[in-house]
Amino acid sequence: MSAKPKLYYFDGRGKMESIRWLLAAAGVEFEEEFLETRDQYEKLLQGGSLLFQQVPMVEIDGMRMVQTRAILSYIAAKYNLYGKDLKERALIDMYVGGTDDLMGFILMFPFLSAEDKEKQHAVIVQKATSRYFPVYEKVLKDHGQDFLVGNNFSWADVHLLEAILMVEEKKSDVLSGFPQLQAFKARISSIPAMKKFLEPGSQRKPVPDDKYVETVRRVLRMYYDVKAN
């Protein structure tokens, strides 16, 4: 196996994007193999690499890891982005869980019909501004620290920045009522590893386009219409 982590997924965001973000935050270089054909996917299946017959899959430290949350937890722990004790880890898990829920409303957006996209757009903005962002705004205001947990940069900060930018792609002024999150976004974005990942030419993926959607549908044989949440 490669000394660098190797990521197996499509040439697009999906569930792998948060893994790319976390590796970048840790300053870890990684390689990628993009799935473009059904044959590539079936080869991984037949070789036993996909434990639950799905991607993402990451080769790291002699393992072939699947299940996004397990991969992220391993990377966070390995690179000291998972708090200093069990209480901090529990807080990180809670905050990551919230941003996961929010990003879930966006993840399948590219696969929706035009009518459902219009409905889902409103849902995303509503959920972000009334359920999720107020939580992080209050956390940051109450403890007055630069980061979400223990005043140290963690997985929770990386995940929240990713979520903020995803929602801003749907509504550019979505943070207008959240001054703490505005400052947080600027602060985390200026961390050298994050700044590098946010620059053009990095391995961060763009907003999914029709080519990405068609490739995923073909490789995974998604012949049904995804429904909005």
Q: So what's the pLDDT on residue 1? A: 45
* Domain span at 156: 86-191
Q: Do residue 161 and residue 183 come from a single domain?
A: yes
Does residue 1 lie in a domain region?
A: no
Does residue 183 lie in a domain region?
A: yes
Q: Do residue 75 and residue 90 come from a single domain?
A: no
Does residue 62 lie in a domain region?
A: yes
Q: Do residue 40 and residue 74 come from a single domain?
A: yes
Q: Do residue 118 and residue 172 come from a single domain?
A: yes
In the chain, the number of structural domains is 2
Q: How far is the C-alpha of 210 from the C-alpha of 101, rounded, in Å?
A: 24
Does residue 185 lie in a domain region?
A: yes
Q: Do residue 182 and residue 118 come from a single domain?
A: yes
pLDDT in tens, 64-103: 999 999 999 999 999 999 999 999 999 999 999 999 999 9
Q: Do residue 66 and residue 91 come from a single domain?
A: no
Query: 223: pLDDT confidence band, cut at 50, 70 and 90?
Result: low
Query: 226: pLDDT confidence band, cut at 50, 70 and 90?
Result: low
Q: Do residue 110 and residue 176 come from a single domain?
A: yes
CATH number for the domain spanning 166: value is 1.20.1050.10
Query: 225: pLDDT confidence band, cut at 50, 70 and 90?
Result: low
Q: Do residue 124 and residue 75 come from a single domain?
A: no
Does residue 128 lie in a domain region?
A: yes
CATH number for the domain spanning 28: value is 3.40.30.10
Residues 6+ positions from 132 with CB-CB distance below 8 Å: 98, 99, 101, 102, 163
Mean pLDDT of the chain: 95
pLDDT in tens, 165-195: 999 999 999 999 999 999 999 999 999 999 9
Does residue 229 lie in a domain region?
A: no
Does residue 225 lie in a domain region?
A: no
Does residue 174 lie in a domain region?
A: yes
Q: Do residue 31 and residue 58 come from a single domain?
A: yes
Q: Do residue 72 and residue 27 come from a single domain?
A: yes
Q: Do residue 125 and residue 59 come from a single domain?
A: no
Q: Do residue 93 and residue 42 come from a single domain?
A: no
